A and B are shown apart, each in its own frame.
Chain A
Amino acid sequence: MPLALLLLVWFFPTMPIFAAQTFFTLDQKEVRVGNEINVGVFLNTENKDINAVEGKILFPEGVLALKQIKDGNSILNFWVERPVARKGEITFSGIIPGGYQNKKGLIFSLVFVPKQTGSLSLVMQNMHVLLNDGNGTEVNTTVSNLSFVVLDPISEKTPVVVENKDVVIPEVFEPIITSDPNVFEGKNFLVFTTQDKESGMDHYFVCEGTKECVRAESPYLLKDQYLDKEITVLAVDKNGNTRTVSLPAQKELLWYQNRVFVGSLTGISLFILLMLLRKIYGKG
């Protein structure tokens, strides 16, 4: 029996498990010190229907300066963790409602400027890809890291730089005021999100009435819990293009809350009182 089993293992090796794959692409054929390079981070779902991806990209920040992370055209519609660089690491996490299948889905792209010559590598770590099956089942994922050589700059030539200025503002969106007993102790909060197909979203501001606008993330706890002021949300992309959306006050001010009305009423009352007093004491 043991011999038969051994033969079975030898002649019938394990069938390859079809796995999802994450990989890099490099736009430039030659990489030189001081010249920008574009690195794409992609997903191949290998014919599986997936709806969630997370992971980490490591890069040598001492020799490779990260200029920009472009997530505007990402296949991930909602970021649980938007890709942000911290000390040579870019962590990200996001979902695709309804699922996604493709050989080359862009997660985000990175713009670097090499600072010195030599061999450099970009590494993917802790990559997790989940199936669109309602259970969060993880699929086997293979990663392909990127290695390339940085050459000396060509000093006799001035590089021709063609810059396509992004003037497109973020997509239309609709902030929602809501409340839930499990969030912010049941107080009113604001949820919002939008996309920018060019450079990607950068940040948001929320302005409540005449108060100073504050940089905010969704969900955002509203300072004004009476909901009697207009709320404005500014969505700003990575090139500073801004879309502004406003929600009207949800409730009318009560008469005694309206400062203009109360102030006017007080002023008129004082004027009438003054006139009466003048009349009374003026006669005497």
Chain B
Amino acid sequence: MFLLRLLQFCKVFILKDGQQTSTTTSDAQGRFKVTITDITAGNYSFGVYAEDRSGIKSSVFTFPAFITLGALTKVSGIFITPTITLDKTSVSSGENLTVFGQSLPDSTVTISFYADVGFFRQIKTDAMGQYSYTVNTKTFASKDYLVKAKATLGEESSSFSQAVLFSVRAKGVPVSPVPVVPVKIIKGDVNNDGSVNLIDFSIAAYWYKKPLSKQFKAVEQERLNGDGKIDLKDFSIMAYYWTG
């Protein structure tokens, strides 16, 4: 049984040993309850993540649990990371960039920007749990930046979300067109279906210790570690971005 805190009125996904086993919806306080039956005794790795109203997924929170035969194992007190996305992946110096996402209503979201050094900004979520922060990049050096977020409500705090990447380019350097849909993390998603799961693992396993085709080399370059081969490092990257 799970009793956790995450986003308000969001779809919740439960993973058992890396594979989706249940889905449900959180309530107005971001709480949900799921009971998993038909499970044998033993060590398990459970994961929980949420998908917000914009379709952005939070990081997966994983934890080990030993299930005892005939006993009810209750898991509680876990605070899921906020969802996070950007309105652009590339900006010219001086342009605005907006970071937005969702967490619990009336919580404090700490947004961390990082290149060689980092800085933080804090904002409050609204009554629906949504947050949005716009930064002007005129003081940003021309380089790649990572941005991530965590949420705090009272004494409770989540860990940081997965980081999303954006680039600041000098004025006059062409930038990528503004995406119509929010930017989604795609590392590990080798079949480009929006999820990182057993299918991606099987596709990578097909190429494990084999010379890559020209087409799959391009996929490996974009979605994995780009060294031209499939080895444990690629599977590790996949494991980090796993959605089940």
Contact = CB atoms under 8 A, between A and B. Distances in A.
11 contacts: A51-B240, A52-B232, A96-B239, A97-B62, A98-B60, A105-B64, A135-B225, A178-B191, A180-B199, A180-B203, A189-B202
Interface in B177-198: 187, 190-191, 198
A95 B42 CA distance: 18
Interface string A74-111: 11011010000000000001011111101001100000
B244 interface: yes
Contact of A176 (B190, B198, B219, B233): B198
A106 B43 contact: yes
A198 B67 CA distance: 13
B213 A134 contact: no
A218 B202 contact: yes
Contacts of B207: 182
A171 interface: yes
Interface stretch (B15-23, B77-85, B119-127, B167-175): B15-23
Contacts of B242: 97-98
A136 B233 contact: yes
B38 interface: yes
Contact of B232 (A54, A189, A197): A54
A174 B16 CA distance: 13
Contacts of B236: 51-52, 95, 130-132, 136
Contact of A181 (B187, B201, B215): B215
Interface string A162-193: 00000010011110101011111000010111
Contact of A100 (B62, B190, B198, B215): B62
A52 B39 CA distance: 25
Nearest to B198: A191
Contacts of A115: none
B206 A134 contact: no
A68 interface: no
A166 B76 CA distance: 32
A96 B202 contact: no
A152 interface: no
A221 to B, nearest CB: 10
Interface string B138-174: 0000000000000000000000001100000000000
Contact of B45 (A77, A168, A172, A183): A77
What size tier do the contact residues of chain A reach?
Answer: 35 or more
A128 interface: yes
Contact of A193 (B60, B62, B187, B198): B198
Given A75-B45, A106-B43, A135-B225, A99 B203 contact: no
Given A73-B42, A78-B201, A197-B42, A182 B213 contact: yes
A240 interface: no
Contacts of B42: 72-73, 197-198
B47 interface: yes
Contacts of B206: 182-184, 219
A252 interface: no
Interface of A: 51-52, 54, 72-75, 77-78, 80, 93, 95-100, 102, 105-106, 128, 130-136, 168, 171-174, 176, 178, 180-184, 189, 191-193, 195, 197-198, 218-219
Given A52-B235, A102-B64, A219-B203, 9 more contacts: A54-B232, A75-B45, A78-B18, A99-B239, A130-B233, A134-B187, A171-B40, A180-B203, A219-B205
B237 A134 contact: yes
A95 B216 contact: no
B63 to A, nearest CB: 8
B43 A182 contact: no
B234 interface: yes
A182 B216 contact: yes
Contact of B199 (A51, A134, A176): A176
A187 to B, nearest CB: 12
A130 B232 contact: yes
B233 to A, nearest CB: 3
B88 to A, nearest CB: 21
A218 B191 CA distance: 16
A73 B215 CA distance: 37
Contacts of B97: none
A225 B100 CA distance: 44
Contacts of B187: 134
Contacts of A133: 240
